Structures are given as C-alpha cells and as structure tokens.
C-alpha cells in the first residue's frame, strides 16, 4: 500500500482516497457494528478451517483466533474505535486484528470475500432474532393460556362488525390469540429451518480455488449445511425478508389484540383493567389511566411492515450476484427486530398483569339480544321450523323486546306466543348466556369443555 490516503483494504489501484460524501454514503459501520459478534464468530470459524485444510499456517490461524477474541472484548467493553474510513464491521475488525498480530492477519481474507462474510454474519444475526422471537411468542402464549384457564367458562359478548353477535367464553377469546401467536411461532420455526445454510466459502460470487472445507465452517457456526450455489448465496436476502414477513404478520396479530385491549380498558367497556405497571397517566387529567403500551404495540406494525416493503423494494430488480444496494438491508431488519421483540415482551407483560372484569363481561354478554341465534335454533329444533322462518320469528321477537326496552329473556311468554303460538316455557332455558355458550360444543366451539381441551392441547405443544 503505497498511497496512504487510499483505502488500506482495497486502495491498491487508487491514487486518491474517497470524497467525504462518498465515504458518508458508503460507510455502514454506523449500524453494522451490531454484527460484530457474528463477524468475529465467522472469522474464527474461517481461520480454523484455513489451518485444518493447510491453507494457512496453524500458528497464524491460532494468532488470528486469539486476536479476534481480543477484538471482541474491546468491542464489548466499548473501547473499540470504529472508523468510517474502514467502511464496515468486516474491515474494522480485520484492520484491528492486523494491529494486534501483524501482517499475517492479511491471510484471514484468503478464500473469502466481504460478500459471503456479510451474508453469513447477517444470517447468524437474524437466526438469533428468530430464536429470541420464538421465546417471546412462547412466553406470550403461556400468559394467554393462564388467562384462558382462569376464565374458561366466563361469558362475554362475541362480536362481528364490533356489534354484539353471540355470547362466547373469555377462555375462547384468549385462545383465539393463542392460535394466532401459535401460527407465528410455527412460521418462526419454518423460517429458521429454511435459512440455516451457511454462505461462507461462496467467496465473492463464484466460489474459490483454495481447497476449503465448507462443511467444517457450516458446522462450526451451527448451520445444517453449506449453501449449494455461490451466486445465490451472496445475493440472497430471503432469510431477512422471511424474517420481516413473519414479523409483519405477528405484529399485525399484536396490533389487533392491542386494539381490543384499548377498547376493553375504556370506561365504556371496562372488560379489563390493565395494571399500573403497564399503564400511564395524563399530565393534565388526573383521572386518566392510559393504555399507552397497547397503543404503541398497535402502531409498531407500521415500521415493521414498512421494513418488509422497503427491503422487498431494495431487492427487486437486482441482477446476480451482490450489489451494494444490499447494504440497505440491515437497518430495516434491526429496527423491525427490536420493535417486534419489544412488542412481544410488552404484550406478554400486559396480558400477564391484566384483570378481566368477570361481572362486566357477563353483563355485556347478556345485553344486545346476544342469544337471538339460540332462540332461532330452538325454534328449528323444537318446533321443526325451517331456519329461515325461525330467523324471521326471532327477528319479530327482538323488535318486540327492543320496543319494550327489555332483553329477550325478559319478554313474557304470552308476548312470545303472540308471534308464534308453538313457543313454550322451555324456550327460556336457551336464552341464558351460560346455557348458550355451554351448548356450542362443536369442535373449535366456545363451550367451556371445548376451550379446556384446547388449553390442554396447547400446554402439551409448548416446549
């Protein structure tokens, strides 16, 4: 390296260093330093492999592996001076290694490129996030199972169009979210399995002539196998995109539940009371207890889904193999991961702490003619009416009750018989909300016994 102003890693053919603006747009060290631990793990595996295959001297490889640990502890201790002139984490680490062990550090980059290096580092990072997300989802599911178990037979209104539809059980409602987060968990596991192939050794794009052992590095880094096509391996960001799509769907589920918590904790509903630990106050209105965590979770989908769209847009239209566009992958994924994991933790905290107000749920369940369908079903079963006719008769009864300002169970029998003379005293059995939910025993239905079976199934399924 004759010219001291050109880049010490690639400046051999350059007579001048980059313009400040060039450096500003090019450098990724400001954010990819988050990949330091993964970068060093990848380099240590690579160094061990280079020695095992006789590509570098064992002494040099040992010095690299030791020196890399020193670099890691410097970074973790906050003593490392990151340099934008060295662009990214890969070159910052390597340059420091050279200071520590001397010029033999330059042999570390034999048979590899930053292209396979960054693909490997980033995969390792995303894999860790998937593992953390799996834990977060499992913890949230456990919190929901506890809520479901406590109130497996509590009744509440079930809604369609946010209008009272039919009574359901609190346990059933909680278990609906267990199903959603359970699907997220299964998507996390699928994505992890599919991504777990090691790009290291693909080199710049075409592989290498050095006699490397890709199985060895793949195994050392916990991958199932090496990637099978070097062009694909250095230009693939599907793993990041899958992470973002799994995160987007999960954040959408979180957002839906958050919306329910916002509604349920309002003075008008009072279905749940959120704990002080997961609420905030107002600086002007002393009576306020706001569901800020739920609102923020509801909003997080914006940036997470935004990251998904952003990276899809970065990747579309890129020719094989690596293009610098791909450096724009990281910040989006970092931000989405941070916010998804935080949302999962906050939701778990809120669900774990919240109190369902059984009495308010039951009162609401019994209002709004919620058992009208039970009445129609009774007319079909007991009087053999075609369902359409039963629907019509019930509609007239609802109108009558509405006009009298009462609910269906409060309508006198004579009033009912004036609409259909076959109706008997026995009809009142099906108009109660507890009977209503207890009757819905179809598989997947809201009956407490069905809900308890699902709780037991999920407890078995969780690790």
Give, for 155, the enclosing helix (H) or strand (E). strand 155-160
Residue from 38, 308, 327, 370 binding ligand ARG (CB under 6 A): 327
DSSP codes of every residue in 272-305: EE--GGG-B--SS-TT--B-HHHHHHHHHHHHHH
Q: Which is nearer to ligand ARG, 312 or 413 (CB)?
A: 312
C-alpha span between 60 and 57 (Å, rounded): 5
Q: Which of 282, 367, 396, 418 is catalytic?
A: 282
Select from 12, 226, 202, 215 the least CA-distant residue to 111: 202
C-alpha span between 368 and 116 (Å, rounded): 62
Q: What are the C-alpha distances in Å from 163 to residues 63, 157, 158, 369, 376? A: 70, 9, 8, 11, 18
Restricted to residues 149-208, the positions that interact with ligand ARG (CB under 6 A) are none
Least separation in angstroms between CB 262 and ligand ARG: 39
Q: Which is nearer to ligand ARG, 83 or 282 (CB)?
A: 83
Report residue 46 as tokens.
């690579």
Q: Which is nearer to ligand ARG, 127 or 330 (CB)?
A: 330
Of 1-9, 158-166, 176-184, 323-331, the window that binds ligand ARG (rule: CB under 6 A) is: 323-331
418 assigned to active site: no
Least separation in angstroms between CB 122 and ligand ARG: 8
161 assigned to active site: yes
Least separation in angstroms between CB 118 and ligand ARG: 4
Least separation in angstroms between CB 326 and ligand ARG: 5
Helices of type H across 221-291: 230-235, 238-264
Q: Which is nearer to ligand ARG, 311 or 364 (CB)?
A: 311
Q: Which is nearer to ligand ARG, 234 or 447 (CB)?
A: 234
Least separation in angstroms between CB 173 and ligand ARG: 45
Q: Which is nearer to ligand ARG, 30 or 58 (CB)?
A: 30
How many residues bind to ligand ARG according to rule CB under 6 A?
10
Residue from 326, 354, 416, 447 binding ligand ARG (CB under 6 A): 326
Examine residue 7 and tell whether it contacts ligand ARG (CB under 6 A).
Answer: no
C-alpha span between 167 and 379 (Å, rounded): 19
Q: Which is nearer to ligand ARG, 9 or 71 (CB)?
A: 9
C-alpha span between 409 and 420 (Å, rounded): 16
DSSP codes of every residue in 64-114: HHHHHHHHHHHHHTT-----GGG-SHHHHHHHHHHHHH-GGGGGGGTT--H
Least separation in angstroms between CB 135 and ligand ARG: 27
C-alpha span between 378 and 11 (Å, rounded): 84
Q: What are the C-alpha distances in Å from 75 to residues 1, 79, 86, 171? A: 27, 6, 15, 48
Least separation in angstroms between CB 4 and ligand ARG: 21
Largest pairwise CA distance in the chain: 105
Q: Which is nearer to ligand ARG, 10 or 387 (CB)?
A: 10
Task: Using the structure block, give the residue that is written with the tokens 């880049």.
Answer: 7
Binding flags for ligand ARG, 9-38, as an x/- string (CB under 6 A): -------------------x---x------
Least separation in angstroms between CB 323 and ligand ARG: 9
Query: Helix, strand, coil shares of the chain as percentages rounded to 5?
Result: 70, 5, 25
Q: State the angle between helix axes of 170-195 and 238-264 in degrees (0 to 180), rounded to the nearest 10.
A: 170
Q: How far is CA 179 from the centre of its chain?
A: 14
C-alpha span between 427 and 406 (Å, rounded): 17
Restricted to residues 67-126, the positions that interact with ligand ARG (CB under 6 A) are 88, 114-115, 118
Residue from 223, 264, 322, 458 binding ligand ARG (CB under 6 A): 322
Enumerate the active-site residues: 161, 282
The residues binding ligand ARG (CB under 6 A) are 28, 32, 88, 114-115, 118, 322, 324, 326-327
């Amino acid at each position: 390296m004759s010219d001291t102003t050109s880049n010490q890693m690639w400046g051999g053919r350059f007579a001048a260093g980059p313009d400040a603006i060039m450096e500003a747009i090019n450098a990724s060290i400001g954010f990819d330093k988050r990949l330091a631990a993964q970068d060093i793990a990848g380099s240590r595996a690579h160094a061990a492999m280079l020695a095992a295959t006789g590509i570098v001297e064992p002494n040099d490889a040992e010095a690299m592996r030791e020196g890399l640990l020193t670099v890691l502890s410097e970074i973790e201790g906050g003593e490392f001076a990151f340099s934008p002139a060295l662009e990214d984490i890969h070159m910052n680490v390597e340059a420091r290694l050279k200071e520590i062990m001397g010029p033999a550090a330059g042999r570390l980059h034999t048979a590899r490129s930053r292209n396979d290096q960054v693909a490997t580092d980033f995969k390792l990072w995303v894999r860790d996030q998937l593992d953390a997300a799996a834990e977060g989802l499992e913890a949230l599911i456990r919190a929901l199972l506890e809520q479901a178990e406590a109130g497996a037979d509590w009744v509440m209104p079930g809604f369609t169009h946010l209008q009272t539809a039919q009574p359901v059980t609190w346990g059933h409602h909680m278990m609906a979210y267990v199903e959603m987060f359970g699907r997220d968990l299964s998507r996390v596991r699928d994505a992890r399995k599919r991504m777990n192939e090691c790009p290291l050794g693909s080199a710049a794009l075409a592989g290498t002539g050095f006699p490397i052992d890709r199985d060895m590095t793949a195994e050392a880094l916990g991958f199932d196998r090496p990637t099978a096509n070097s062009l694909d391996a250095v230009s693939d960001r599907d793993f990041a995109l899958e992470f973002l799509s799994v995160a987007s769907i999960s954040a959408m589920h979180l957002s839906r539940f958050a919306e329910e918590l916002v509604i349920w904790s309002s003075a008008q509903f009072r279905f749940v009371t959120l704990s002080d630990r997961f609420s905030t106050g107002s600086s002007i209105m002393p009576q306020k207890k706001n569901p800020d965590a739920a609102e923020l979770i509801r909003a997080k989908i914006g940036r997470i889904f935004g990251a998904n769209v952003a990276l899809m847009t970065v990747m579309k239209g890129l020719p094989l193999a690596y293009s610098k566009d791909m450096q724009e992958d990281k910040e989006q994924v970092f931000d989405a991961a941070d916010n998804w994991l935080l949302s999962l933790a906050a939701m778990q905290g809120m669900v774990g702490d919240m109190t369902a107000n059984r009495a308010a749920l039951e009162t609401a369940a019994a209002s709004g003619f919620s058992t009208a369908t039970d009445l129609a079903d009774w007319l079909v079963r007991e009087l053999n009416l075609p369902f359409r006719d039963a629907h019509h008769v019930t509609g007239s009864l609802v109108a009558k009750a509405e006009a009298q300002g009462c609910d269906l169970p409060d309508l006198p029998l004579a009033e009912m018989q004036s609409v259909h003379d076959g109706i008997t005293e026995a009809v009142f059995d099906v108009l109660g909300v507890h009977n209503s939910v207890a009757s819905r025993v179809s598989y997947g239905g809201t009956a407490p016994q069905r809900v308890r079976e699902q709780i037991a199934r999920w407890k078995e399924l969780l690790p």
